Amino acid sequence: MAKILIVEARFYAHLNDMLLAGARAAIERAGHEHEILTVPGALEVPAAIAIADESGDYDAFVALGVIIRGETYHFEVVSNESARGIMDLTLTGLAIGNGILTVENEAQALVRADPGELDKGGGAAEAALSLLALRERFLA
């Protein structure tokens, strides 16, 4: 049984609740344990994963959050840098499913976050578990 850490940027609580529900359901269906760590925003997610990984307590990670485009360049910075940080960590061998939504508006986020719709939280958890299986296959 693997232990998965879900790291969520809890800026939009109602959307995160849906992402979390999907991720938790996918992890539990697969028979694994999980914990949840909340950080202020998407930029903090990669750092939190890197710090948590140093503990050696987790086998995989799920990154969750929602970034909605605003009127400034901040959207691009947060979207790009959080994705880059997560990708950099995956290239070091960490199993991370990226479920940080980057959307134009709340309506798009609702469809993607809802476990009964696109279930991007569940998809991120499944991606993390898939990478964990690959790591175990090739590095065990």
> Residue 70 sits in a domain of what CATH number?
3.40.50.960
**53 lies in which domain range?**
3-139
- Output the known binding site for (2S)-2-hydroxy-3-oxobutyl phosphate: 71-72, 112
| Torsion sign across C-alpha atoms 79, 82, 86, 88 | positive
Q: Helix H segments across the chain?
A: 13-29, 45-54, 74-90, 106-113, 120-139
Based on the residue annotation, tell me whether 74 is a catalytic residue of this protein. Answer: yes
Question: Per residue in 43-85, pLDDT tens?
Answer: 999 999 999 999 999 999 999 999 999 888 899 999 999 999 9
Check 14, 32, 34, 74 and give the catalytic one. 74
| Torsion sign across C-alpha atoms 44, 85, 61, 20 | positive
> Going by C-beta distance under 8 Å and a sequence separation of 6 or more, which residues neighbour residue 14?
none
- Output the known binding site: 11, 42-44, 66-68, 71-72, 98, 112
Question: Per residue in 83-112, pLDDT tens?
Answer: 999 999 999 999 999 999 999 999 999 999
Is residue 119 pLDDT above 80, yes or no? yes
Number of domains in the chain: 1
DSSP per residue, 18-33: HHHHHHHHHHHHTT-E
